[in-house]
Amino acid sequence: MSLTVLKRIALLAIVAVPSIGASSQQRSASLDMEPPSAVQHAIRLGAADTSRVLHLAVSMPYADESAMQEFVDSVSDPSSPNYRHFLTPEQVGQRFGLPQSQIRKVVSFLQSQGMKVTLVGKNRLTVLADATVGQAQKAFNTSIEQFVSTKLEDAADPYRFAFTSTPTVPAELGGIVTAVSGMEDFTRPKKSYLSPSQARTLYGTASMYSGGMRGQGRTIGISSWDGFRLSNASAFISYYALPVPTAGALTNVKVETIDGGSGTGTQKVEGDMDIQCSLAIAPLANIIVYDGYGGDLINVLTLEVNDNTADIITESYGWGLAASTATSAHTLHLSMSAQRSHTRIRVVNPKCLS
């Protein structure tokens, strides 16, 4: 199912409710978020362009996280009656998410601030929205500034932006909204490498592969935030003489672009490696590259959860996350573990190097 259709379905599910007015905003609740620590060592350039568009992810908690964790444990426990009785994203929301009335409050608030809501997570954990810097500053009572990073690893692309004070939300949303990501881009994925010649052995798939199990009928999701070229994957298939679908090489590979994506940007190896590693282990599997932009971790995870198509999702990046963002990612990973598509969604970490 395409992202466009998903967005339409999600938006049709929202009904109009009164917006949270100015009097409500006079009382506010602070979010457990602090500016990225790298700001302290960066060079300030001044206020960010207020017309710049940000891709925000507003995170909510489970209504009962302990019950959710208990279910996730039981669904993979052969001795449990819940074993392999996976849920859809909607069922995750109905059983463990906040009431729809509270989700509608979040949507109403964002829209009242002029933001464009692009997706409401079926599992009730995330609302995605596009906003200008000016709208984000006003809505969350913070300022967003431009910086130049002084880290050596950022020398090729040193320009950054970040919020500079603890964000807040109206008191009515305290406890409903736990984090808002997308208001800084210091936090970015870090690359990690592994030799592809060891992939099948290290991940225990060598005997399966030699036995004819090449990924047929399965779907692999790839979380990506890096420049890649499918032409490199084509060359990889040819060089190693990998089997291809009847329709031809790469007809089993699909790219879903999120927030503009990073795939057409500068190639930095990791994106290409992830695709090639998946093809090395399961060349006949359906592969969906969820191509995110910059550091939009929560946005990418939300679309993967909402799509609910992949049997396995690979996230071969390291992150230095703020506690609030790590919590948001954890809640989405729990949802992945509880959900089912053809079999189940698992999060793994294949990293190959050709």
55 vs 152, more confident = 55
Q: Which residue has the higher pLDDT, 4 or 207?
A: 207
Structure tokens given for 73: 């444990």
Residue 60 CA to residue 331 CA, distance in Å, equals: 9
Is the pLDDT confidence value at 333 over 60?
Answer: yes
Per-residue pLDDT, 181: 97
Higher pLDDT, 197 or 169: 169
Is pLDDT above 90 for 180?
A: yes
d(CA 70, CA 59): 21
Residue 319 has pLDDT above 60, yes or no: yes
Assign 308 a pLDDT band (cuts: 50, 70, 90): very high
149 Cβ contact list (under 8 Å, min separation 6)? 38, 42, 158, 159, 160, 186
Please identify which residue in the block is written with the tokens 């995330």.
126
pLDDT of residue 3: 38
Is the predicted pLDDT of residue 170 greater than 60, yes or no? yes
CA distance 92 to 331: 11
Burial of 340 (0-12, 13-18, 19+ CB in 10 A): middle
pLDDT attached to residue 343: 38
- DSSP labels for 250-266? TTTEEEEE-TT-STTS-
Q: Which residues pair with 267 in a beta bridge?
A: 227
How confident is the model over 329-337, as a mean pLDDT? 93
Mention every residue, 6+ apart, whose C-beta is less than 8 A from residue 4: none
Give 154's pLDDT tier (boundaries 50, 70, 90): confident
Residue 48 has pLDDT above 60, yes or no: yes
The pLDDT of residue 13: 37
Mean pLDDT of 235-243: 89
Domains of the chain are 3-17+33-61+98-181 (no CATH), 190-348 (3.40.50.200)
For residues 297 and 293, what is the distance between their CA atoms, to the nearest angstrom? Answer: 9
pTM: 0.74
Residue % of the chain over a pLDDT of 70:
86
Using DSSP bridges, classify how beta strands 312-314 and 219-224 pair: parallel, antiparallel or unpaired.
parallel
Which string of b and e fits 246-271 if b means at least 16 CB within 10 Å?
A: eeebbebbebbebbebbbebeeeebb
State how far the alpha carbon of 162 is from the alpha carbons of 54, 184, 349, in Å: 11, 4, 29
What pLDDT was estimated at residue 26?
Answer: 59
Q: C-alpha angle 138/129/149, rounded to 5°?
A: 70
